[in-house]
Chain A
Amino acid sequence: GQNIDQPTEMTATEGAIVQINCTYQTSGFNGLFWYQQHAGEAPTFLSYNVLDGLEEKGRFSSFLSRSKGYSYLLLKELQMKDSASYLCAVRDAGLTGGGNKLTFGTGTQLKVEL
């Protein structure tokens, strides 16, 4: 089975840096995704980590430690539009769906304030 944990809510200030953590315990692992989702909209892809280490993409960075079952999403220079839910998702190592089955965490609702 899959167990993925994220904080439920976080609040940060515009211009600041925020780190959203995700821990997972899964029966199989083939990569970890971060998605951003605004209310009432579909998730949008932010990052994908399959090897240990940090992946940087503009204001967003994502880190993975497979041995610790841990990932974080780092958002820099926060903007008001970054207020959204951030979903951590683990890609299954199985064959269902061509090996692309995702299990999502509960999501972290980030609120950016002035």
Chain B
Amino acid sequence: GAVVSQHPSWVICKSGTSVKIECRSLDFQATTMFWYRQFPKQSLMLMATSNEGSKATYEQGVEKDKFLINHASLTLSTLTVTSAHPEDSSFYICSATSAARTTYEQYFGPGTRLTVT
């Protein structure tokens, strides 16, 4: 139980284009979803927190107009990287928590590797 999927697992896009990444909780309802970014050999950096049906809360230094987050349902959150540039190339990981389960544990998706050329 508590499976989180991400799609796509990897994507290559050209500079200036937009890319959408999906995060789904497959067997539970995700009260809250988190989006992280991880550069090579670095730790996870929280980008934003989203609750179903409300606006995402972004961490300091993360541009909300560039990284659009939508959490339209209790099983789906999307991250759209708009006007992507090579410096946005990174490993993007989502996680989810559920009020119905152990509330403190975050269940992580497998990640999406974004390469911007």
- By beta carbon, the residue of chain A nearest B99 is A98
Q: Which of A13-21, A40-48, A52-60, A69-77 contacts B (4 or more CB under 8 A)?
A: A40-48
Residues from chain B with Cβ under 8 Å of A109 in the complex: 41
Asked if residues B44 and A87 are in contact (CB atoms below 8 Å), the reply is yes
Cross-interface CB contact of B104 among A42, A100, A105, cutoff 8 Å: A100
Pairs A–B under 8 Å by Cβ, sample size 11: A43-B44, A48-B104, A96-B49, A97-B57, A97-B97, A98-B51, A98-B99, A100-B106, A103-B46, A105-B43, A106-B42
Given contacts A42-B93, A97-B57, A100-B32, contact A87 B103 (CB under 8 A): no
Complex: how many Å from CA A82 to CA B97?
A: 26
Interface 1/0s, chain A 17-43, versus B by CB < 8 A? Answer: 000000000000011000000001111
Asked if residues A104 and B43 are in contact (CB atoms below 8 Å), the reply is yes
Q: Which of B61-69, B79-87, B108-116 contacts A (4 or more CB under 8 A)?
A: B108-116
Residues from chain A with Cβ under 8 Å of B90 in the complex: none
Give the shortest distance, in Å, between A33 (CB) and chain B (any CB): 8
Asked if residues B34 and A97 are in contact (CB atoms below 8 Å), the reply is yes
Asked if residues B49 and A48 are in contact (CB atoms below 8 Å), the reply is no
Asked if residues A40 and B43 are in contact (CB atoms below 8 Å), the reply is no
Residues from chain B with Cβ under 8 Å of A50 in the complex: 104
Given contacts A43-B44, A91-B104, contact A101 B110 (CB under 8 A): no
- By beta carbon, the residue of chain A nearest B108 is A42
Complex: how many Å from CA A86 to CA B109?
A: 17
Cross-interface CB contact of B109 among A42, A91, A99, cutoff 8 Å: A42
Asked if residues A102 and B42 are in contact (CB atoms below 8 Å), the reply is no
Residue of B34, B46, B105 with highest tally of chain A CB at under 10 A: B46
Residues from chain A with Cβ under 8 Å of B15 in the complex: none
Question: Does chain A have a CB within 8 A of B70?
Answer: no
Known: A98-B51, A101-B49, A102-B106. 5 other contacts (CB 8 A): A40-B113, A42-B109, A43-B93, A50-B104, A104-B45
